Amino acid sequence: MSAAPAKVNIAAALAGINDHWNPRIAAEVGDTQIKLVKFAGSFDWHSHADEDELFLVISGTMRMHLRTGDVDVGPGEFIAIPHGTEHCPEALDGECAVMLIEPAKTINTGDTITDRTRTKLQRI
């Protein structure tokens, strides 16, 4: 028999995150992970050859830089990035809190390895 599902309070989970660009696993649904992360400033340009990603903004405003033009995403809005699409998220006006929905195998910096690359994520 498996353990009972745990409820996640998004605001409380985000309050416990005190760094940036370091996603935490909040839940798993099949082969998909639900991650929470805080952004500050701009990230690295990258893409994911096989994984699609969804960025749901919880607070703040995120600008998703794309080679085809920038898209601003505010609280309660999301943007889905298809695999193979070069992108670069940026927090506008300070800090931005984001929920990521993506395959478990997704590495945050995709095809670009930097000091921000996280291969082992903490769980909330």
Q: pTM here?
A: 0.93
79 pLDDT exceeds 60? yes
Q: Where are the beta strands (DSSP E) in the chain?
A: 24-29, 32-42, 53-66, 71-73, 78-81, 87-103, 122-123
pLDDT of amino acid 6? 83
The ranges assigned to domains in the chain are 23-112
Residues of the chain above pLDDT 70, percent:
98
For every residue of 77-110, DSSP letters joined together read: -EEEE-TT--EEEEEEEEEEEEEEEEETT--TTT
Mean pLDDT of 63-71: 98
Q: Which fold has domain 23-112?
A: Jelly Rolls (2.60.120)
Mean pLDDT of 42-52: 96
